[in-house]
Amino acid sequence: MVSFTLNNRQVSVDADPRTPLLWAIRDHVGLTGTKYGCGAGLCGACTIHVDGTAQRSCQIDVGAVAGKTVVTIEGLSPNSSHSLQKAWVAEEVPQCGYCQSGQIMKAAELLAKNPKPSRADIIAHMDSNICRCGTYHRIIAAIQRAAMEG
Amino acid sequence: MTMIDTTPSRRSVLAGLGGLTFCIAVGSDGVRLMSQAQANALANASVTPWVRIAPDGTITILSAGAEMGQGSMTSLPLIVAEEMDADWSKVAIEWTPADASVYGYKNPIGTEQLMWIVGSRAVQLYFTQLRTAGAQVRKVLIANAAQKWGVDAATLKTEPSVVINPANGARMTYGEIAAFGTIPATLPAVDPKEFKERKDFRLIGKSQPRRDTPSKVNGTAQYAIDVKLPGMVYASTLHSPVHNAQAGIWDPGKQDQSAAAPESWNDAEIKAMKGVIAVVKLANGLAVVADHFETAKAGRDALKVKWTRAKADGFNSDQALADYVRIHADPNAQAAKLEEKGDVKTAFASAAKTYHAEFRSDYGYHAQMEPLNAVVRLNEAGNKAEVWEGSQAPDESRKAVAKALGLKEEQVDFHQCYMGGGFGRRSLGDYAAECALIAKEVRRPVKLIWTREEDIAQGMFRPQSFQCLEAATDASGKVTGWKHCVVGDGEFLLITGIKIPYYGVPNQYIERRGVSHGIKLKHWRAVGHVFNTFAIESFVDQMAVDQGMDPIEFRFERMGATPKARKVFEALAQMSDYKAKRPDGRALGISITERSGSLGAGAVEISLDRTSGKIRVHKVWAAIDGGLIVQPGAAKANVESAIIYGLSSILHERVTIKDGAVEQSNFHDYSLMRMSDLPEEMNVTFVDVDTRPTGLGEIGNPFIAGAISNAFYRLTSKRLRHLPFTPERVLETLKA
């Protein structure tokens, strides 16, 4: 049994502590907004926050987040009201949408640390996250919009 | 949109609804709307609600637009809503069932009805059918209002979701009509001349937000991988590393190798693992079933399997490409003629000059972000199955599952889900059929997820190819003869985009020379267009350079570009400031692009790092004739997406096969374009035309390779002739 805070809620997961956090969140807890893309820390589709830092949930054992605070896309805001979520809608970023939870979580980490990032800052920060539909330019525009509109 | 609910029976849907329900049925004359009374009277006919208007004004329109990011789920109902004159804000969208006889379009190259959302077909093939349906519904609504008011229907007009009598200003909402209205036994006929005029469109041509967007920014969008059923277990597969082999000890004396069995793998060891429920043998692999995915995957990773032999044993993709050259040179090799026009022999015999060029292209992988997966549940009796899958061809998937289970299609209910990318891979239902077999064996609902490694190793690829092009010019430099031969595996996949209807070369001979390797191949965003357009447009550029002509002028003057082609090149020249000098170290390259009825011209501005061999694309322009653009915003997003897909595949992606097995295994060695390689500018424009809509999901892809290659020539006086243009290849080309 591993206990941690997930989206402001205390959860206990009855899984082998070596279970990847990704599957613990998706299958054991049942929050499916966090996606499986590569299982190898290469694409960023499973990006979540652990104590405020963006992490690849496929690369962390659930046992490693015991007592920590985890936030997934479902916990970013209660009603899609985070500035990034609003900007993502305004810029019509998603196509297939599968990578976007990870993209938004990665971007949220950036804005938390650097509220007015330059284009170069955005690219350097977001380069780890793959979007196969090629929405990169809209992701940049959405982050810039969120930074401006707050 | 609820996608996990079990679909109630069609009759109960019909019986339980208040308001007006228009039905659709298939007859000898194709798909048509019909009244509910008429539908109920038709014994055994396939009948389903298509448009429902509730007394509160809510209009539910079913969408056959499988959604993989291209926006069809929104665009198709919008076409119905336009002709209905529905208030779009009151329209709810639901998926259609996977019944092609009811919801399919007529296969443009056959007679059957299909629901395949492939080849950029959705809007172009459903357009007229959906307009007709919408117009019929509007006529019925007007007729009901006319009767109520005691006036002539012809005097009435509509505004969104309201019928209006201009004579006295009376208004009646569609919802009000639904509360009392009736649908005639025979629905009114609609002549295409009665369709709305373009100037009257309220929705078509005016970008509406996609309906799937809100759910894609908060994690609620439902992909098949997210479906969870009570009692569900998880499966992870290991397929034969060499395509199409089986788990089993090869016995050369036996005809049927499928009987070879658990002793061919470490069955007992896997089954003893904690949480493992079963090991199920599949046609080309094994599935480990367990209580959780991570347990199933651990079992899958621990499998040690002896595989039977397969056709692709020992296959080497580099060697095969070399063999293609020999096949091309072999006068006795079998060839399939694809095009023959005029007198090619004479054109070449009397040529003032002839040209010749060869090109190669490697295998490409779809790399959709959501690895292949499906969920299947069978009832207790095993005579009813439900499938949850994101599918480009729900009808095909339903068929595949029914076949795997020995059931009739009617015994399979298909629940469409969003797709985390499709790109041509998700139209077979192969993995859904695997999931069905597993569910049948373990008698529990099963979610099957292919690992990324499986997804690549079992990728059905864009075929590799060798191409030889030859041209003959007359004394004036005009291209009078054209020969193009493509060699490779993949038959119809190999030949898309090989014809050149946009040029007016009088004498042509185009052929395919086929081989078969036993490697799985599949449609892939524009498939053959990628390497065929590359070869054609690089070759054209080579001739333009040789004749010292501007490449656009050459296409106009010497290739006989059609008026449609001239128009897109003219638009391109204007938008890209084509004649302007580029900054030092940069060059512009152009190419035509064609796919699914659409035609365009594209350009890229590149620079080159001569030390690393890395090509950088700074700016991209595309001018597209896609007919009438139904949703400009989504259309632009599609073209932009295909541009990036093209750039990624042309500069980064390469599948190689050695000793029969795919060498790449995940995104570390199958590298996709990332944000840092994004061009600084992407400019997409649609030429303004009134013709019917054509496909736009792939048109942004085919020009990329030729445009980059032609720009590269302008920078270096060297030609890139082998896709992809990886840094190693670029360095080799520079040295050559």
Instruction: Answer yes or no: do A40 and B369 touch at CB < 8 A.
Output: no
Which of B419, B641, B666 lies at the smallest CB-CB distance from A40?
B666
> What does the pLDDT look like over B594-618, one tens digit per residue?
999 999 999 999 999 999 999 999 9
> Do both B603 and B467 map to the same domain?
yes
> Domain for residue B415, yes or no?
no
- Of B147, B180, B197, the position where a domain reaches its end is B197
> Domain for residue B277, yes or no?
no
β-strand B162-165 against B385-389: which pairing, if any? unpaired
DSSP assignment letter at B104: P
- Please report residues of A whose CB lies closer than 8 A to that of B234: 27
Which of B633, B647, B672 lies at the smallest CB-CB distance from A130?
B672
Domain containing B557 equals 318-363+461-735
- Of B133, B163, B197, the position where a domain reaches its end is B197
Cα angle vertex B587, ends B585, B593, to 5°?
155
> Domain for residue B405, yes or no?
no
> Do both B193 and B326 map to the same domain?
no
Instruction: Answer yes or no: do B292 and A28 touch at CB < 8 A.
Output: yes
Q: What is the pLDDT of residue B90?
A: 96
> What does the pLDDT look like over A36-87, one tens digit per residue?
999 999 999 999 999 999 999 999 999 999 999 999 999 999 999 999 999 9
Number of domains in chain B: 2
Mean model confidence pLDDT for chain B: 92
Strands (E), B71-207: 91-95, 105-106, 113-114, 157-159, 162-165, 170-173
- Please report residues of B whose CB lies closer than 8 A to that of A127: 674-676
> Domain for residue B404, yes or no?
no
Nearest CA in chain B to A27: B292
> Domain for residue B145, yes or no?
yes
Angle between helices B528-546 and B632-651 (to 10 degrees): 80
Instruction: Answer yes or no: do B449 and A36 touch at CB < 8 A.
Output: yes
Sheet with B586-595: strands ordered across: B586-595, B598-609, B614-625, B681-686
Which of A72, A94, A136 lies at the smallest CB-CB distance from B213?
A94
CATH code for the domain in which residue B64 is found: 3.30.365.10
> Do both B187 and B330 map to the same domain?
no
For residue B35, pLDDT beyond 80: no
Instruction: Answer yes or no: do B369 and A15 touch at CB < 8 A.
Output: no
- In three-state secondary structure terms, A85 is helix
DSSP assignment letter at B26: E
Instruction: Answer yes or no: do A32 and B419 touch at CB < 8 A.
Output: no
For residue A88, pLDDT beyond 60: yes
> Domain for residue B236, yes or no?
no
For residue B261, pLDDT beyond 70: no
> Domain for residue B239, yes or no?
no
Nearest CA in chain B to A34: B219
Q: What is the pLDDT of residue B25?
A: 47
> Domain for residue B219, yes or no?
no
Count A/B contacts: CB-CB distance under 8 Å.
168
- Please report residues of B whose CB lies closer than 8 A to that of A76: 218
Average the pLDDT over B155-184 and give the result.
94
- Of B197, B216, B251, the position where a domain reaches its end is B197
For residue B27, pLDDT beyond 50: no
Q: What is the pLDDT of residue A7?
A: 98
> What does the pLDDT look like over B346-381, one tens digit per residue?
999 999 999 999 999 999 999 999 999 999 999 999
Nearest CA in chain B to A36: B370
Instruction: Answer yes or no: do A35 and B225 touch at CB < 8 A.
Output: yes
Which of A37, A42, A138 lies at the smallest CB-CB distance from B668?
A42
Nearest CA in chain A to B221: A33
- In three-state secondary structure terms, B678 is coil
Please name the residues in contact with B465: beta carbons below 8 A apart, sequence gap of 6 or more: B324, B360, B361, B486, B487, B488, B494, B528, B531
ipTM over 0.90: yes
Q: What is the pLDDT of residue B3?
A: 30
Q: Which of B31-40, B99-108, B430-439 has the lowest mean pLDDT?
A: B31-40
The residue assigned the tokens 């190819």 is B465
- Please report residues of B whose CB lies closer than 8 A to that of A20: 294
Mind listing the domains of chain A with CATH numbers? 2-74 (3.10.20.30), 83-149 (1.10.150.120)
> Do both B189 and B330 map to the same domain?
no
> What does the pLDDT look like over B394-427, one tens digit per residue?
999 999 999 999 999 999 999 999 999 999 999 9
pTM for the whole thing?
0.94
